Amino acid sequence: MTETDQRAQTADEGGKQPGLRFLEATVYIMGGLLVLMLVALLGGLAWKLTHKAPAAAPPVESLDIAIPPGSNVIGMTLDGDRMAVHVLDGAVDHEIIIVDTRKGAVVSRVRLKPAASSGK
């Protein structure tokens, strides 16, 4: 037998060499990491496709609300996209103006008047 045949026979009988075991473990670990990174990439793509970015806010525009001459704004309240403006017209009449701030339009006007006395 030649020397190379003896080495080949010894390698088959003796199992794997220590350096080859390390390389085999390294290959398995890198393969596992590659699979995990592929799963993470596909998960990120699925997340991006299902969760769209919110629409950009519309540009800020000025809104003119017409109130009667001589009226005073007593207060304002903002709730979500609705704004209520409390207006005192003269000394007695109160009016509440409801404004949709997204559309920039007056939704409704509520005039508050004193109730008639019942005479009791």
pLDDT digits (tens, 9 = 90+) for 19-34: 788 899 999 999 999 9
pLDDT digits (tens, 9 = 90+) for 63-91: 888 888 888 899 999 998 999 999 988 76
Domain that holds residue 94: 72-112
**Is 34 domain-assigned?**
yes
Q: How high is the pLDDT of residue 92?
A: 72
Burial of 87 (0-12, 13-18, 19+ CB in 10 A): buried
**Is 60 domain-assigned?**
no
Same domain, 10 and 40: yes
Q: What type of residue is 59?
A: P
**Is 103 domain-assigned?**
yes
Same domain, 44 and 10: yes
Same domain, 46 and 76: no
| Number of domain units in the chain | 2
pLDDT digits (tens, 9 = 90+) for 92-111: 788 999 999 888 889 999 98
Tell if the pTM clears 0.95, that is, is over it. Answer: no
**Is 117 domain-assigned?**
no
Spatial contact of 79 and 70, defined as CB atoms under 8 Å apart: no
**Is 91 domain-assigned?**
yes
Strands (E), 38-116: 72-79, 82-89, 93-100, 105-112
**Is 99 domain-assigned?**
yes
Is 58's pLDDT higher than 70? no
**Is 42 domain-assigned?**
yes
**Is 58 domain-assigned?**
no
Whole-angstrom distance, CA of residue 95 vs CA of residue 112: 6
**Of 13 and 67, the one with more pLDDT:** 67
pLDDT digits (tens, 9 = 90+) for 34-47: 999 999 999 999 99
Same domain, 44 and 77: no
Whole-angstrom distance, CA of residue 93 vs CA of residue 70: 12
**Residue 110, SS3?**
strand
Whole-angstrom distance, CA of residue 72 vs CA of residue 17: 94
